[in-house]
Amino acid sequence: MVFSQEQRAKIVKADPSRKADIGGVAKEIGAMWRGLTDAQKASYKGKTRKGKKTKTKAKAVPATRKAGKRRLLNPYMAFFKANYSRVAKNHPGGAAQVAKEIGKLWAKQK
């Protein structure tokens, strides 16, 4: 990915009209990648692994879910949560069966 990003930037900088030619540029980058030696490829693969490690650390706390803030449940999910244990006692067939029965109860309410 690092190799591709670097080469795409160079190709588009050299000829800005190729910015929209995604497929053509990708084929050219693929040919360039196949022309590299194993040692050259290994250096790019190492850069990619390092980048993945830093990205996973950055994603540890998503911006949408900060310390205890949660979105409200939609009406169906609130109904589902409120009725699950009661329906599960009467339908021991598993989660799928319970979900079907709760869906039937929901449809009756409307």
- CA angle in degrees (0–180, nearest 5) for 21-18-4: 75
In this structure, is residue 88 part of a structural domain?
yes
**Amino acid present at 20:** A
In this structure, is residue 13 part of a structural domain?
yes
Cα atoms in the Cβ-side hemisphere of radius 13 Å centred on 14? 7
φ, ψ dihedrals at 106, nearest 5°:
-65, -40
φ, ψ dihedrals at 59, nearest 5°:
-90, 10
The structure's pTM equals 0.43
Question: Which of the residues in the chain have pLDDT under 50?
Answer: none
* Domain hosting residue 104, numbered range: 75-109
Q: What does the pLDDT read at residue 49?
A: 59
In this structure, is residue 39 part of a structural domain?
yes
Structural domain count of the chain: 2
Say yes or no: 7 and 42 in one domain: yes
pLDDT digits (tens, 9 = 90+) for 73-85: 888 888 999 999 8
Contact 1, 48 (CB under 8 A): yes
- Distance in angstroms (rounded) separating the CA atoms of residues 27 and 5: 13
